[in-house]
């Protein structure tokens, strides 16, 4: 039998071994490595196909060389509102859950230094780089022979034991072998997940016209932010399959009704990022550009909290006392390299670019258990791929006005090897802008994104939630020209 000292020690270590539920895994690396869509309203309206445009503060992010294209010193600010809508299907049952955020997205200043030849521009400021806002809700009857309770018991996780949902097996000499449970499947499973947080970018950049029509630049970026994920998960025996005690040593555990688990993950993170770029301008008609984001290592401090309960006949509850842990580790995101071109047809400008990302270069390190680090890095190597992302955009000036209309597409290929094309992220964008008195610029943009994905509550394809995601981003940018 399990001794009392062993139970107490497992309670203290529960968070470590409960990594089966909510481990640091490859999805954490993807969260940091996936490109964001936030920029300014002009760039967003053009599908973020901005590697050869620049001439404003957002060049710091897309291609620092674009800073030198600015003809003015300028002060820029942006706001955005984002809506995330998740339409889920779980064992034939549909659900919809929304989450949204409204943020001050950008504040940047460019200084165009006096120069006898060429151009020299400095920039610094703040930008919201990524927004982690998301949501998921699901409920359905799982008729199969599996459950979170069984999964955790098979993994030798002590949570079911502490909640009276499993009991120890012993040999003929009364020596402990392992835990087992009567609860296999045929349960109604439900829950929800809310995610929030984001990454803030504080940056400094410089760009020069090194030769006539040749611009080079670089930026240093300090990234900091938070990520929060809270999950509520239920398994309910509405059909009264489990009337006998689930713990043979506790008769109060008869007529099992509900298993509830609530876990929260909370990150604080920071990183240093470096970007380099060039632009070649041929007769103000065709531009070629390239930029590189060097591999970036995020330093993460993670707090993890778990609590829950089980309910039986006669309102008999067993509570899982809240337990909290903290761990520090690092995730390295890969090199990104972009190439693009634009053509200026007087009233119409067309931009296109492609970005190379090798997701197999993501890597874990730090204070995690070495076996967990090795396993995560193996999974990354075996399950991810190299991708090309595409951005295409256009801007048209309305004749005889200072009004501009914009449209663009962003196509982000899924980093997972075997994902079908429906899992690629597609964003359709539109926007408009106006220049007032050669001193003020006002730009608005809207981006509609859609893609499919899935989430496993536990195991592989045992309790899978299929999801169809829609995102809506509205952005407003104001720029003062000096």
Max CA separation in the chain (angstroms): 94
What Cα–Cα distance (Å) separates residue 315 from each residue in 59, 191, 255? 61, 21, 10
* Distance (Å, whole) CA 414 – CA 389: 9
Residue 8 confidence (pLDDT)? 44
Q: State the residue range of the domain holding 406.
A: 4-481
Beta strands in 255-315 (DSSP E): 258-282, 286-293, 296-312
Number of C-beta neighbours around residue 439 at 10 A = 11
* Distance (Å, whole) CA 376 – CA 456: 17
Total domain count for the chain?
1
* Distance (Å, whole) CA 134 – CA 231: 12
Q: Residue 33 sits in a domain of what CATH number?
A: 2.40.160.60
* Distance (Å, whole) CA 196 – CA 265: 11
Q: What averages of pLDDT result for each successive group of 10 residues across the chain (482 residues)?
A: 42 44 79 93 96 89 94 94 97 96 94 89 94 97 96 92 93 88 95 96 95 95 96 96 93 95 96 97 92 97 95 92 92 97 94 97 92 93 96 96 97 95 97 92 97 95 96 97 91
Q: Which two tokens stand for residue 403?
A: 């009004």
Residue 284 confidence (pLDDT)? 84
Residue 21 confidence (pLDDT)? 53
Question: Facing residues of 292 across strands?
Answer: 276, 337
What would the DSSP string read from start to end of 70-109? -SS-EEEEEEEEEEEEEEEEETTEEEEEEEEEEEEEEEEE
What Cα–Cα distance (Å) separates residue 164 from each residue in 156, 238, 250, 319, 338? 14, 18, 8, 10, 55
Q: Which two tokens stand for residue 414?
A: 């899924």
Residue 23 confidence (pLDDT)? 62
Query: Long-range contacts: 207-211, Cβ < 8 Å, 24+?
Result: 207/59, 207/64, 207/65, 207/66, 207/67, 207/68, 207/119, 207/120, 207/121, 207/123, 208/68, 208/118, 208/119, 208/120, 208/121, 209/68, 209/117, 209/118, 209/119, 209/120, 210/118, 211/118
Is the CB of residue 287 less than 8 Å from the CB of residue 341? yes
* Distance (Å, whole) CA 67 – CA 75: 13
DSSP-based three-state secondary structure for 161: helix
DSSP-based three-state secondary structure for 317: strand
Phi, psi torsion values for 371, nearest 5 degrees: -65, -35
């Amino acid at each position: 039998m399990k001794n009392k000292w062993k139970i107490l020690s497992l309670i203290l270590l529960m968070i470590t071994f409960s990594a089966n539920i909510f481990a640091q895994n490859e999805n954490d690396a993807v969260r940091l490595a996936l490109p964001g869509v936030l920029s300014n309203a002009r760039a967003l309206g053009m599908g973020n196909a901005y590697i050869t445009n620049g001439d404003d503060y957002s060049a710091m992010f897309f291609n620092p060389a674009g800073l030198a294209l600015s003809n003015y010193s300028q002060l820029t600010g942006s706001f955005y509102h984002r809506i995330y809508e998740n339409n889920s299907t779980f064992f034939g049952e549909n659900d919809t859950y929304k989450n949204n955020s409204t943020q001050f997205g950008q504040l940047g200043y460019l200084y165009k230094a006096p120069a006898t030849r060429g151009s020299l521009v400095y920039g610094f400021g703040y930008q919201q780089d990524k927004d982690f806002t998301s949501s998921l809700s699901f409920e359905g009857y799982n008729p199969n022979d599996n459950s979170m309770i069984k999964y955790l018991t098979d993994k030798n996780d002590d949570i079911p034991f502490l909640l009276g949902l499993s009991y120890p097996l012993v040999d003929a000499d009364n020596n402990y072998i392992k835990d087992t449970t009567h609860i296999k499947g045929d349960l109604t499973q439900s829950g929800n997940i809310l995610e929030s947080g984001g990454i803030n970018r504080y940056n400094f950049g410089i760009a020069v016209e090194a030769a006539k029509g040749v611009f080079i630049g670089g930026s240093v970026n300090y990234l900091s932010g938070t990520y929060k994920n809270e999950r509520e998960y239920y398994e309910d025996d509405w059909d009264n399959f489990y009337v006998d005690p689930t713990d043979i040593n506790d008769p109060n555990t008869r007529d099992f009704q509900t298993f509830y688990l609530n876990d929260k993950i909370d990150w604080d993170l920071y990183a240093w990022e470096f970007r380099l770029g060039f632009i070649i301008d041929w007769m103000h008609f065709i531009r070629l550009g390239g930029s590189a984001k060097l591999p970036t290592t995020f330093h993460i401090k993670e707090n993890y909290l778990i609590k829950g309960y089980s309910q039986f006949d006669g309102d008999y509850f067993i509570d899982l006392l809240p337990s909290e842990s903290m761990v520090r580790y690092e995730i390295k995101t890969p090199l990104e390299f972009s190439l693009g071109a634009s053509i200026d047809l007087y009233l119409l400008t067309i931009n296109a670019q492609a970005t190379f990302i090798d997701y197999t270069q993501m890597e874990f390190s730090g204070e995690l258990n070495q076996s967990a680090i090795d396993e995560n890095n193996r999974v990354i190597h075996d399950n991810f791929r190299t991708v090309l992302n595409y951005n295409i955009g256009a801007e048209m000036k309305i004749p005889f006005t200072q009004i501009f209309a914009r449209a663009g597409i962003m196509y982000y290929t899924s980093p997972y090897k075997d994902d079908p094309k429906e899992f690629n992220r597609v964003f359709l964008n539109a926007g408009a802008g106006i220049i007032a008195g050669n001193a003020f610029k006002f730009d608005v943009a809207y981006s509609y994104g859609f893609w499919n994905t899935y989430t496993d509550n536990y195991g592989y394809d045992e309790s899978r939630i299929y999801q169809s995601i829609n995102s809506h981003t509205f952005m407003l940018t104001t720029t003062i020209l000096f």
